[in-house]
Every structure is written in structure tokens, then in C-alpha cells.
Amino acid sequence: MNVNRRAFLAVPAAVLISKKGSGGFFQSDAREEPSRPLFLAEIERERVLRAATTYLGEKPITITATSSPRSAGGRHDFFSEGDYWWPDPANPDGPYIRRDGETNPDNFVGHRHAMVRLSLQVPALVAAWKLTRDRRYAEHAVGHLRAWFIHPETVMNPHLLYAQAIKGHFTGRGIGIIDTLHLVEVARAASVLEESDAMASNDRAGVRGWFSRYLTWMTTHQYGIDERDAQNNHGTCWVAQVGEFARYTGNTGLMDFCRHRYKTVLVPGQIAADGSFPLEIARTKPYGYSLFNLDAFAIVCQTLSEPDDDLWRFELADGRGMRKAMAFMFPYIADKSRWPHKPDVQYHENWPVRHPSLLFAGHAFDRPDYRSLAKTGP
């Protein structure tokens, strides 16, 4: 399976689930007392340390290491191409044509791969530091953050003007913003890393400044507005990103906006009476998109819930909410053969993975069966 935006679902997401940057799932979440507190270290310690130790020997790689002649941007501009767009057999040098659900293997993926790598390595390194307090892990994570967000030679510009381009049609599109979903974990990791003296004040200011500028672009540029208003998983992922980047940069106004949008747009617009996601089921990859959207919903709930505003328990008058969405998908995560809809046209065999929705919801709803299933997968 190509490394793409959905690869974040299978990572050792130890840092992402650290509530507000400290404590959290490494200890019991104070928001509620389930029958048994969930200690993440019991689940992920060996896995995280094994990965982080390997990453200590690998240098940072940013988007400046690769480029594509099809990009309209420069060396520091993130570039990607629409997954489902292919050369036209009748006009090979002309505009691409769409084959929904079928990924073109010849598309440029160098920048996506670099960002996925960042989202794997930094959270694992920071989680390893949090588990062991070994400064080596923190220092190496800081090196990645400096390379991506501070150093002039290797920094990525804080916008996505050239993401999800389509040859002969667009040099970039609003839906390309979903490509930075990987940065949700990076921002969470950076906030945890600030507890370490390995991250100096100028590093903190530099990384926070980058995310603040990107957040401004996401919420003011037409591409960002288009993605915000998308009615399927793209709209969910916009809220997931803006919510976390706002939390990291201390933008309480945008956090409030995202909570409101979750309750007034995402839940009523995407969850059906039975808990399914009709807009995802209508696609050519109904199973994978449903799982992906469920995880994005879970990230929104986990990032933005407060003691007096618990998004996990928010429900419309007819009962639609995260509890119902989890209940709908759980049987099909446990046994994919029970899926009542058509299989995905591509990569159906790669699902399910280690879904954060199971871990988060298992704790939020005190569901041991969710937590147990969360431990399985690649």
C-alpha cells in the first residue's frame, strides 16, 4: 500500500493521546474515572522504544530533499498530486483524467513520504523521551522540528498552495490540505516536548510561530475555506487539524469555533441515524473512508473535549453522535467480513489497522472491548 495520508492511523500514536501535552493517557484522564484507568505505557512502551531507538540513527529529511518538475511552486513549497488522476490514453501529454478510487502510482509522492516520516519519527521519539526521560530522544526530535519549521535551508513554507495538483487542470486545490493531517501528531508531540529542556525557548517560539502562520493560512485562504466547507472526511480533517494547531498555539477562539462546528456541522451533516457515514459509504472505498473518518472524528473529540463540554458525549436530539458512530463501525472493525456494503476498489485488504478511535472511545465510554481491539493490527 502506498504511504499516504491514511498511514497516520497505523503509527504508535503515544504522543497524540497525551491530553493537553502532559499526563493524559500516560496516566488516568481526569475527565472521567472509568472502571480501570488506561495507562498507555502498558500498551505501547516496547513498541515505541523499539521504533524510537531505530529513529535515533536517522537524520531529518524535509520536502527540500525532493522535487517534481510538475510543481508550480518552489523548493520550500509542499507539492502533491491528486491520487485518482491519470494520463489520458487518448491524449498522453494532455490533461489528466479521473479514475475514482484508483491511485496513480506514478504521481509525485516525495513530499508526502517525507511528512509521513516526520509524523512517525517525532511522536515516537517524544513518547520515548516521556517514557524514559532519556535526553537523546528529545534532542533528536528537536532536530527534526528545527529542520522542518525553523532552518531557512530546509524549512517548509506554511501553506499548501500546490497540494493535490492535477496536470492540465489545477496547480493546487483546497482538498490538498488533508495532506497535512500528519502534522496533528507533530504539533501534539511538540507541545509535549516543551516539557524538556532539550527544546530551547527559541525553538519553541520558532515551531509555534510556524504553526500559527499555517493556521492563519488555513482559516483565511480560499483553499482553506473550501476545505472547511467540504461535507465529508475532508471537512472533518480540517476541524481535526485546526483544532489541534489552535490548541498548540493557544488560539482559544479557533478551538471554540471547532467545537461549535463539530456539533452544528460535522455530526448533523455526516452521521446517519444508524451511526454510519453515508457520504463515505457512497464512495468507491466505503470501508476505508468510513474508518478514516471515524478516526478523524475521534481525534476532534479527544483534542477539543473539556470537562464542561465533552464532545464524546454530545448527541443530537435523535441520538446521533460519536457513541452511535463507534457502535456502528465496531462490529466491522472486529470482523471485516460482516461489512454490509461493497468492498473498497483498492487496498480493501489493508484495513483495519490500529485505530485511535478504538483506544480513545474505549477510554471515553469505558468499553474494554474497544480498548482490547485497539491493540491489534499492523
pLDDT digits (tens, 9 = 90+) for 116-130: 999 999 999 999 999
State residue 14's pLDDT score. 43
- Across all residues in the chain, what is the average pLDDT? 90
Q: Which of 37-46, 79-88, 150-159 has the highest mean pLDDT?
A: 150-159
Structurally, the chain folds into a number of domains equal to 2
CA distances from 242 to 193, 252, 314 (A): 20, 11, 20
Q: Pinpoint the alpha helices (H) of 69-133.
A: 110-132
Domain boundary among the residues 229, 245, 261 is at: 229
Residues paired with residue 91 on neighbouring β-strands, in sequence order: 88
Give the structural domain span for 15: 7-229
Query: Is 125 in the same domain as 138?
Result: yes
pLDDT in tens, 327-362: 999 999 999 999 999 999 988 998 998 899 998 999
Indicate the angle between helix axes 322-334 and 286-304, nearest 10 degrees. Answer: 140
3-state helix, strand, coil in the chain (%, to 5): 55, 5, 40
Residues paired with residue 306 on neighbouring β-strands, in sequence order: 309
Quote the cell numbers at residue 21: 501535552
The answer for residues whose C-beta is within 8 angstroms of residue 69's C-beta and 6 or more apart is none
- Whether 215 is covered by a domain: the verdict is yes
Query: Is 189 in the same domain as 270?
Result: no
**Lowest pLDDT segment from 25-39, 115-129, 280-294, 339-353:** 25-39
Mean pLDDT (whole number) for 294-298: 96
Residues 346 and 285: their CA atoms lie apart, in Å, by 7
Quote the cell numbers at residue 235: 471537512
Would you say residue 162 has pLDDT above 70?
yes
Mean pLDDT (whole number) for 193-209: 96
- Whether 2 is covered by a domain: the verdict is no
Query: Is 165 in the same domain as 241?
Result: no
User: Which of 147, 231, 227 lies closest to 181 in space, CA to CA?
Assistant: 227
Residues 322 and 271: their CA atoms lie apart, in Å, by 9
Would you say residue 172 has pLDDT above 80?
yes
**Lowest pLDDT segment from 46-50, 264-268, 310-314:** 46-50
Dihedral Cα 162, 163, 166, 167, nearest 10 deg: 40
Mean pLDDT (whole number) for 145-169: 97
Would you say residue 2 has pLDDT above 90?
no
More confident residue, 103 or 232: 232
Residues 7 and 187: their CA atoms lie apart, in Å, by 17
Query: Is 169 in the same domain as 277?
Result: no
Domain boundary among the residues 229, 244, 263 is at: 229
Residue 209 DSSP one-character state: H
Query: Is 209 in the same domain as 244?
Result: no
Would you say residue 5 has pLDDT above 60?
no
What are the b/e assignments for 305-334, b being 16+ CB within 10 Å? beeeeebbebeeeeebbbbbbbebbbebbe
Domain boundary among the residues 229, 247, 275 is at: 229
Query: Is 11 in the same domain as 86?
Result: yes
- Whether 258 is covered by a domain: the verdict is yes
Taking CA 169 as the corner, what is the angle to CA 165 and CA 173, rounded to the nearest 5 degrees?
40
Taking CA 341 as the corner, what is the angle to CA 340 and CA 345, rounded to the nearest 5 degrees?
140
Would you say residue 283 has pLDDT above 90?
yes
User: Which of 300, 309, 287, 170 lies closest to 235 in space, CA to CA?
Assistant: 300
Residues 78 and 112: their CA atoms lie apart, in Å, by 8
pLDDT in tens, 301-336: 999 999 999 999 999 999 999 999 999 999 999 999
Query: Is 236 in the same domain as 223?
Result: no
State residue 44's pLDDT score. 79
State residue 378's pLDDT score. 57
Q: Provide the whole-model pTM.
A: 0.91
Per-position DSSP letters for 293-325, written without gaps between them: HHHHHHHHHHHH-BTTB-GGG-B-TT--BHHHH
- Whether 125 is covered by a domain: the verdict is yes
User: Which of 334, 333, 258, 336 lies closest to 297 in space, CA to CA?
Assistant: 258
CB neighbourhood size of 213 (10 A): 15
The beta strands (E) that lie in the chain are given as 79-81, 85-86, 97-98, 162-165
Query: Is 225 in the same domain as 242?
Result: no
User: Which of 255, 241, 263 lies closest to 313 in space, CA to CA?
Assistant: 263
CB neighbourhood size of 89 (10 A): 7
Mean pLDDT (whole number) for 151-174: 97
Query: Is 54 in the same domain as 179?
Result: yes
- Whether 241 is covered by a domain: the verdict is yes
CATH number at residue 208: 1.50.10.100
Query: Is 135 in the same domain as 253?
Result: no
pLDDT in tens, 228-237: 999 999 999 9
- Contact (Cβ atoms closer than 8 angstroms) between residue 329 and residue 351: no
- Whether 19 is covered by a domain: the verdict is yes
State residue 40's pLDDT score. 66
Query: Is 189 in the same domain as 241?
Result: no
Residues 220 and 237: their CA atoms lie apart, in Å, by 16
Percent of the chain scored above 90 by pLDDT? 81
Task: Region of 23 please: left (phi>0), alpha (psi -120 to 50) or beta.
Answer: left
Query: Is 118 in the same domain as 130?
Result: yes
- Whether 1 is covered by a domain: the verdict is no
State residue 376's pLDDT score. 78
- Whether 309 is covered by a domain: the verdict is yes
